[in-house]
A and B are shown apart, each in its own frame.
Chain A
C-alpha cells in the first residue's frame, strides 16, 4: 500500500528559484491538504482541496500555489522561494466523510538559501 507519496524527500533551493513539491495518493480520497511544520509551531495548513478542481487557502497560503486536476495528485508550487519557506512540508489526504482523520505523507524537507 503506497498511501500518500511525496517527492522529493529533500530539496535545496536558492532564493528566487521555483519548484513543485509533488503529492500523490492511491486511496481515492477526496480531501487533500498541504501543511508546513516549523520548530515549536506544530503543523500549519497552507492549502487544501475538497475534490478535483476545487482548492482553497489555509492559514499560511502566501507564496504557494496549488491545483487539483485529478483526485490522485495535489502539487504545491513555490513560485519564488524565500528563506522563510525553509521548512518540512507534509501532504495529507482523507475521505470525504471522515475529513478530519488525515493520512500523511513522509514529508519533504526544503531548505532555501
Chain B
C-alpha cells in the first residue's frame, strides 16, 4: 500500500531558528513529490520535486528529494512567525491520474 509519512508531527521553534521537516514515502512507480503550506485555510503549493539531488529554493525555503532513500526534506531558515503553519507532503504515482497521497502533515509553530 502506498504511503507517505512525515516527521515530526509537530514542532515549536523560536524566530530565527532553522528547521528541517521530513517526508518519507513508499509509492509504486513514483512520479513526483510536492510540498504544500496550510495556514488557517487552504493548502497552497510550495514545491514540486521529480529528480534526485536537485534543490528547489524559494526565499528562505528549500527542498530536496532523494529517490534512492525515498525521502524529501523541507528546510526553512531564519524562521518567522508567519512560517507557522501545517506543512503537507504529497506524492504522485505514474498513471494515477494526478491522484495525490498526502502525509499527516507537520505542524510548525514559530514563537517570537
Contacts and interface: CB of A to CB of B under 8 A. Distances in A.
Interface of A: 4, 31, 33, 35, 40-45, 48, 50, 56, 58-59, 90, 94, 99-107
B101 to A, nearest CB: 8
A100 B104 contact: no
B102 A42 contact: yes
Interface in B3-55: 4, 6, 9, 31-32, 34, 41-45, 48
B65 interface: no
The secondary-structure label for the interface of chain B is strand
Nearest to A95: B98
Nearest to B97: A50
Contacts of A90: 42-43
Contact of A99 (B42, B98, B103): B98
Nearest to B50: A100
B8 to A, nearest CB: 13
B92 A100 contact: yes
A77 to B, nearest CB: 21
A40 B103 CA distance: 9
Interface string B37-81: 000011111001000000000000000000000000000000000
B105 A42 contact: yes
A101 B104 contact: no
Nearest to B32: A100
A94 B88 CA distance: 17
B42 A100 contact: no
A90 B90 CA distance: 15
Contacts of B100: 43, 45, 100, 102
Contact of B97 (A35, A40, A48): A48
Given A43-B88, A100-B98, A101-B34, 14 more contacts: A4-B42, A31-B98, A40-B9, A41-B104, A44-B102, A45-B100, A45-B101, A50-B97, A90-B43, A99-B98, A100-B31, A100-B92, A105-B42, A106-B41
